[in-house]
């Protein structure tokens, strides 16, 4: 005799409750516990590392499999068009982001009056830009298997697209044997992509615990500083982040008749994941799911999101603009107009070169500072100001990574719409596609 009433599981209270609510509770508890318990809570760090490891475990497969499927299902002509649209969007919004950071910092003037002394390091205004040609050449992998196993995103994207296009041609072939081979490969990668999405759901179940640990550690280590003397720079950066997301992305979406609230609610899992992991590449699997659930076509998001995660860092660009000005104010040598123009150029290049991992933007900031002669040398005032910023980097990194991911979602939505590939049924009916786990 079979018992038809479903048995109550021991962890139903956890697995059956709303995932987002659980993540939010984890976040709030993390702030409170981290703040009050201080260093005594640092033992939870491994619980956060587990979440980061799980997310990075799925990054390369989730870039590769859907991208092959995407390239295999899209006509080569529209792939080129989608690529150009994505690059155009990424460039324009990054320039706007640095300008926004500069405007906010010029108004709020973070660091003004700090008067850090010994400004010896401000001599030598030499412009240093990254070797763009090297970056471009590096896109073509010498060995695609190495590129994938080492987690190099751009060369892996390149190979996945070429491979997917090959499948696309095979599926269209007149000879049955080749056509079938193409179809088999297509189904294989399609299946692999779907499996990856299932794994994302599983990983998300662990997210509330990981989030709690990650946030508790940040606040145990840096909570007080973030609200102390560096509060102004934190506030200025977060003001810039909010204006970028609500004003610039929201404005662009509204111009295209897409609602901001739907965009934010649909993207919240990805934005929260980015916020707590401080890594847009760790958040990529969740970002893909959110875009799918908002109705973005797979052939669009599987291409634009990995690309955006690598080269589109608007939050990082805002942060770099604000921090460069902060350092100028802090050492009593505010940057002039010409220097600020240089910052726009180098911050855009730096944000392209920034990896989607925690703290990468703070390293690239050194390059931006160099370009206006603010060299970080031992004992200099610039070094002291830079160290102050570095002290609260985790708090700034959370916000800028959230913006980086929001920008990628916005691009995917707009490009999908302009390609007439947005599923309005999904866009208009949140939750319909079953993201709630």
Residues that bind ligand ASP (CB under 6 A): 278-280, 313, 316, 354, 356-361, 397, 400-401, 404
* Distances 348 to 23, 320, 321, 389 between C-alpha atoms, Å: 33, 9, 10, 20
User: What contacts 413, CB < 8 A, 6 or more positions away?
Assistant: 253, 258, 263, 291, 294, 296, 422
For ligand ASP, the closer CB: 33 or 411? 411
Could you list the beta-strand ranges (E) of 136-219: none
Cβ atoms of 59 and 285 within 8 Å: the answer is yes
Nearer to ligand ASP, 234 or 354 (CB): 354
Of the candidates 413, 157, 160, 192, which has an alpha carbon nearest to the alpha carbon of residue 292?
413
Rg (Cα) of the chain, in Å, rounded? 23
Are 156 and 65 spatial neighbours (Cβ–Cβ below 8 Å)?
no
Answer positive or negative: Cα dihedral of 152, 283, 223, 313. positive
List of residues 6+ apart from 211 with CB closer than 8 A: 23, 26, 27, 30, 48, 51, 272, 276
The Cα 313–Cα 308 span in angstroms is 8
Q: Cα(first)–Cα(last) distance of the chain, in Å?
A: 31
Closer residue to ligand ASP, CB minimum distance, 277 or 416 = 277
Hey, what are 436's tokens?
């709630």
Q: C-alpha angle 89/90/95, rounded to 5°?
A: 100
Residue with Cβ nearer ligand ASP (278 or 289):
278
């Amino acid at each position: 005799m079979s018992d038809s009433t479903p048995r109550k599981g021991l962890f139903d209270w956890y697995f059956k409750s709303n995932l987002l609510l659980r993540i939010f509770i984890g976040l709030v508890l993390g702030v409170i516990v981290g703040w009050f318990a201080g260093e005594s809570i640092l033992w939870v760090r491994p619980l956060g590392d587990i979440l980061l490891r799980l997310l990075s475990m799925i990054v390369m497969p989730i870039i590769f499999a859907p991208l092959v499927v995407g390239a295999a299902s899209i006509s080569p002509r529209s792939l080129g068009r989608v690529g150009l649209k994505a690059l155009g969007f990424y460039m324009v919004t990054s320039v706007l982001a640095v300008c926004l950071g500069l405007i906010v910092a010029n108004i709020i003037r973070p660091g003004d009056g700090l008067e850090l002394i010994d400004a010896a390091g401000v001599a030598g205004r030499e412009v240093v830009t990254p070797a763009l040609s090297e970056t471009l050449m590096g896109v073509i992998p010498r060995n695609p298997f190495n590129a994938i196993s080492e987690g190099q995103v751009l060369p892996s994207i390149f190979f996945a697209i070429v491979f997917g296009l090959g499948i696309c041609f095979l599926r269209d072939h007149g000879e049955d044997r080749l056509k079938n081979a193409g179809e088999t490969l297509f189904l294989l990668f399609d299946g692999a992509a779907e499996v990856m999405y299932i794994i994302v759901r599983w990983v998300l179940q662990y997210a509330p615990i990981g989030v709690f640990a990650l946030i508790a550690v940040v606040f145990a280590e840096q909570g007080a500083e973030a609200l102390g003397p560096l509060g102004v720079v934190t506030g200025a950066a977060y003001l810039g982040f909010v204006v970028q997301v609500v004003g610039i992305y929201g404005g662009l979406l509204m111009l295209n008749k897409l609602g901001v609230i739907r965009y934010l609610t649909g993207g919240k899992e990805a934005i929260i994941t980015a916020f707590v992991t401080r890594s847009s590449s760790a958040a990529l699997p969740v970002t893909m799911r959110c875009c799918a659930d908002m109705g973005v076509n797979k052939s669009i998001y599987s291409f634009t999101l990995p690309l955006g995660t690598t080269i589109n860092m608007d939050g990082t660009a805002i942060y770099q603009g604000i921090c460069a000005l902060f350092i100028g104010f802090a050492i009593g040598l505010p940057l002039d107009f010409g220097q600020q123009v240089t910052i726009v150029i180098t911050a855009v290049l730096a944000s392209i070169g920034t990896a989607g991992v925690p703290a990468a933007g703070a390293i690239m900031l050194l390059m931006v500072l160099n370009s206006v002669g603010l060299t970080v040398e031992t004992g200099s005032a610039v070094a002291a100001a830079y160290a102050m910023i570095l002290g609260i980097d985790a708090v700034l990194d959370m916000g800028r990574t959230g913006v980086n991911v929001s920008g990628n979602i916005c691009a995917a939505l707009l490009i999908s719409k302009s390609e007439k590939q947005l599923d309005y049924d999904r866009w208009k009916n949140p939750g319909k596609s079953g993201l709630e786990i």
